Amino acid sequence: MELYSTLSRTIEPLETLHPDRVYLFVCGPTVYDYSHLGHARTYVAFDVLTKYLRWTGKEVFYLQNITDVDDKIINRAAEEGISQPALARKFETEYFRDMLALGIDAVSYYARATTHIPEIIDQVGRLIARGVAYVTETGVYFNVDSFERNGELSGQDGTNRVSRVTDATKQNPLDFSLWKTGEYGEYTWDSPWGRGRPGWHIEDTAISEKYFGQQYDIHGGGLDLIFPHHEAEIAQMESLEGKHPMVRYWLHTGFLTVKGEKMSKSLGNFITIRDALKTWNKEVLRYFILLSHYRSPLQATDEGLANAAKGLGHIRAIAGKDKGPDEEGRKTFIDAMEADLNTPMALAAIQRLAANGDLGALKEYGAILGINFLQETSAPLSVLHEIREELRAKKQFEVADIIREKMVAAGITITDQPL
Ligand code: AMP
Asked whether the bond before 245 is cis by omega within 30 degrees of 0, the reply is yes
Number of domains in the chain: 3
Same domain, 121 and 264: no
Write down which residue in 202, 237, 253 finishes a domain. Answer: 253
**C-beta of 263 in contact with ligand 1 (< 6 A):** yes
**Ligand 1 atom closest to 29 (CA):** 2
Ligand 1 center to residue 332 CA distance, Å?
31
Cβ-proximal residues to 127 (8 Å cutoff; 6+ apart), any chain:
133, 140, 142, 178, 236, 239, 240
Q: pLDDT tens, 171-204?
A: 999 999 999 999 999 999 999 999 999 999 999 9
Positive or negative torsion for Cα 217, 221, 223, 227: negative
**C-beta of 42 in contact with ligand 1 (< 6 A):** yes
Choose the residue to mutate in 42, 67, 71, 219 for probing ligand 1, maximizing ligand atoms within 8 Å of C-beta: 42
Same domain, 23 and 82: yes
- Alpha carbons 409 and 403: distance in angstroms, whole number: 10
Write down which residue in 253, 272, 292 finishes a domain. Answer: 253
Which pLDDT tens digits describe the chain residue by residue (419 residues)? Answer: 999 999 999 999 999 999 999 999 999 999 999 999 999 999 999 999 999 999 999 999 999 999 999 999 999 999 999 999 999 999 999 999 999 999 999 999 999 999 999 999 999 999 999 999 999 999 999 999 999 999 999 998 667 665 555 688 999 999 999 999 999 999 999 999 999 999 999 999 999 999 999 999 999 999 999 999 999 999 999 999 999 999 999 999 999 999 999 999 999 999 999 999 999 999 999 999 999 999 999 999 999 999 999 999 999 999 989 999 999 999 999 999 999 999 999 999 999 999 999 999 999 999 999 999 997 656 677 788 788 888 988 899 999 888 888 887 777 777 676 77
Same domain, 88 and 175: yes
The domain containing residue 400 runs over which residues? 377-419
- Alpha carbons 161 and 58: distance in angstroms, whole number: 41
The angle, 0 to 180 degrees and rounded to 10, between the axes of the packed helices 282-290 and 302-319 is 100
**C-beta of 220 in contact with ligand 1 (< 6 A):** no
Please calculate the CA angle 248-343-229 and round it to the nearest 5 degrees: 35
Same domain, 195 and 230: yes
**Ligand 1 atom closest to 222 (CA):** 12
Same domain, 325 and 192: no
Same domain, 324 and 394: no
Contact by Cβ (8 Å): 340, 49 = no
Say which CATH number the domain at 219 has: 3.40.50.620
Cβ-proximal residues to 418 (8 Å cutoff; 6+ apart), any chain:
none
- Alpha carbons 331 and 314: distance in angstroms, whole number: 22
Same domain, 14 and 69: yes
Same domain, 9 and 111: yes
Write down which residue in 200, 224, 253 finishes a domain. Answer: 253
Same domain, 55 and 193: yes
Contact by Cβ (8 Å): 127, 178 = yes
Which amino acid residue places its CA nearest to atom 23 of ligand 1? Answer: 38
Same domain, 236 and 265: no
Same domain, 164 and 218: yes
Ligand 1 center to residue 98 CA distance, Å?
14
Contact by Cβ (8 Å): 118, 125 = no
Ligand 1 center to residue 222 CA distance, Å?
5
Ligand 1 center to residue 38 CA distance, Å?
6
Ligand 1 center to residue 7 CA distance, Å?
20
Same domain, 196 and 342: no
